[in-house]
Amino acid sequence: MKIRTGFVSNSSTSSFIISLSAYGNVAEVAVAMIPAREWDERDDELIEKIENMKPDMKEEPIAFASCNYDTYISKEEDGYYIDTCNNHEWDDVLEGIDEYGGGGDYGNEDRVHAARTGNQYYWPERERSATPVSYDELERIQLPSWCTDQHCYGGIGIDPSGNHICIRCGKIYKGVNKHEDTHGIHFEL
């Protein structure tokens, strides 16, 4: 039985680091995690999309929808960083978990969670890339934390063109930058 050490949280989010020797690339970690969602055909479709990605894409950060919080996987110098939901016993699903973090409740004090906002992730389900945006930044520029479409509720990220988008449906959002220019005029991003 493995015992968690370090941060332990009752958060709905979880973060941890997996040894680089446990999996061959980011895609392999994702494929190992996806069945825990128990979304049957959707899991099979997502695994197929990941397995059919070009080899160089399998090393890039990957994200996908999971229970109540998207899962983010990136390869860093000291391991695979996972920021995900806390609805599963990940020790039963994954090999090589070296270190646990505290999840989103600890914000940038949790190095795995902090690294998430510095990476551009590819969502194979959506065939879309975006960089997650912190809640503080979204508040600063007066954007919602989640898509306002009543049928979507996807998270907001920045696409490769610099647009703030809903990661799930692709809706573009424009925020107000609260920093004033030299003339004291507010401007849109």
User: Are 83 and 167 contained in the same domain?
Assistant: no
The proportion of the chain whose per-residue pLDDT surpasses 70, expressed as a percent, equals 83
User: Are 73 and 119 contained in the same domain?
Assistant: yes
Give the distance, in angstroms, between the CA of residue 71 and the centroid of all CA atoms in the same chain. 5
72 vs 177, higher pLDDT: 72
Q: Is residue 32 scored above 60 in pLDDT?
A: yes
User: Are 111 and 19 contained in the same domain?
Assistant: yes
User: Are 73 and 147 contained in the same domain?
Assistant: no
Tokens representing residue 6 in the block: 């370090």
Q: How much is the pLDDT for 129?
A: 95
Structural domain includes residue 113: yes
Q: Is residue 6 scored above 60 in pLDDT?
A: no
Q: How much is the pLDDT for 42?
A: 94
Structural domain includes residue 186: no
Encode 143-176: b = buried (16+ Cβ within 10 Å), e = exposed.
beeebeeeeeebbbbbbeeeebbbbbebbebebe
Q: How many domains does the chain have?
A: 2
User: Are 113 and 27 contained in the same domain?
Assistant: yes
Average pLDDT, the chain: 84
Tokens representing residue 164 in the block: 């703030």
CA dihedral 101, 104, 105, 108 (to 10 degrees): 80
Structural domain includes residue 91: yes
Structural domain includes residue 29: yes
Q: How much is the pLDDT for 106?
A: 63
When mean pLDDT is compared across 6-10, 50-54, 150-154, the lowest value belongs to 6-10
- The answer to whether the beta carbons of residues 63 and 73 sit under 8 Å apart is yes
Q: List C-alpha distances in Å: 107 to 27, 48, 53, 114.
A: 25, 33, 31, 6
Using CA of residue 26, residue 59, residue 164, residue 139, what is the dihedral sign?
positive
Structural domain includes residue 1: no
* Nearest residue to 167 via CA among 152, 177, 180: 152
Q: How much is the pLDDT for 181?
A: 40
Highest mean pLDDT among 23-27, 114-118, 123-127, 174-178: 23-27
Structural domain includes residue 171: yes
Cβ count near 21 (within 10 Å): 10
Q: Is residue 2 scored above 60 in pLDDT?
A: no
115 vs 51, higher pLDDT: 51
User: Are 100 and 176 contained in the same domain?
Assistant: no
Range of the domain at 174: 133-181
User: Are 89 and 46 contained in the same domain?
Assistant: yes
Give me the residue label for tokens 């680089």.
20
19 vs 178, higher pLDDT: 19
pLDDT band at 157 (very low <50, low <70, confident <90, very high): very high
* Collapsed DSSP state (helix, strand, coil) of residue 30: helix
Q: Are strands 156-158 and 128-132 parallel, antiparallel or unpaired?
A: antiparallel
